[in-house]
Amino acid sequence: MNVEEQAPDKTGKNKTSYSQLEMMVIASSRLLEDQERVLVGTGLPLVGAGLAKKTHAKDMVVIMEAVAFDSNPQSLPFCVADARAVYKTRWVPTAAEVMGHFLQGGRIDVGYLGGAQVDQYGNLNSTCIGDYYSPTKRFEGSGGASDIAALAKKTIIIMAHEKKRFVETVDYITSTGWKCRSYDGKSLVYRWELGLDGGPFAVVSTMGVMKFDANTHKMYVDYYYADLGVTLGEIINATGFDIDTSRAKPMEPPTLLELELLRTKVDPEGIYMKY
């Protein structure tokens, strides 16, 4: 790939030169489909959903937990309660209407979440690192993430790929994956034993896209960013549990249109992309 021949865009980057962060957001946006109802969390999910709306999923309905139904903001909101999200939205629902009527009613196709830790079964931690009562670090907590992971038809998780994040067992289960704690907390059970439908569909990281085996429900590598020099060995070393790489395929690099829209239309200020 000859990046020298490409003129830099307004972010100062060559159009065909891109980062792992950009590839992660683009890869996650490609998993979203037209006409789906997608309930997005704060941060990178807002960026990925915005990119999908401007590329291949123009009729996808983006729902923000506290402010907007079918959001298509002119500029990127800072959070799911940012008033900028209501620009040209069809409806401004209450959180009770979003979480009750849509989510509990089984009307959300995709829950799009971030977090601090994820384990091999897709359990997500956005609560704390270390013991709950004496943590080394405490985060903002669940918000609606626990409800979304439990009740959406499928969940997409997006996060940086590091051993401290991809762990054998999360320090706290904020959002349920495929195999989580029983109601009495004494054992691990599959989510359907708790009466839950849905489940994690993919984990998109700065190294690749992970899916979950249909039989064991354990995480495996589906795609990796070979064009950026990422190797399967690096993914193994950056994962805190044994992960299957036998099915891994190189990810298709971003198109010039995806990069241009991401940089100039979706997050031109670099609020989340950090240009």
Residue 179 near residue 149, CB atoms below 8 Å: no
Instruction: Note the pLDDT of residue 5.
Output: 37
The residues assigned a catalytic role are: 65
Residue 85 near residue 135, CB atoms below 8 Å: no
The full DSSP string for 15-48 is TT---HHHHHHHHHHHT--TT-EEEE-SSHHHHH
Per-residue pLDDT of the chain (275 residues; tens, 9 = 90+): 333 334 455 555 545 699 999 999 999 999 999 999 999 877 898 899 999 999 999 999 998 877 788 877 777 887 767 778 788 788 888 888 888 889 999 999 999 998 999 999 999 999 999 999 999 999 988 888 999 999 999 999 999 999 999 999 999 999 999 998 888 888 889 999 999 999 999 999 999 999 999 999 999 999 999 999 999 999 999 999 999 999 999 999 999 999 999 999 999 988 888 76
- Domains parsed from the chain with CATH numbers: 1-113+254-275 (3.40.1080.10)
**Separation CA 32–CA 60 (nearest Å):** 8
Q: Is 88 exposed, middle or buried (0-12, 13-18, 19+ CB in 10 A)?
A: exposed
Instruction: Note the pLDDT of residue 130.
Output: 95
Helix (H, G, I), strand (E, B) or coil at 36: coil
**Separation CA 268–CA 271 (nearest Å):** 8
Could you tell me the pTM of the whole model? Answer: 0.90
**Separation CA 136–CA 32 (nearest Å):** 35
Give the single-character DSSP code of 240.
S
- Residue 163 phi, psi (nearest 5): -60, -35
Residue 30 near residue 208, CB atoms below 8 Å: no
Instruction: Note the pLDDT of residue 6.
Output: 46
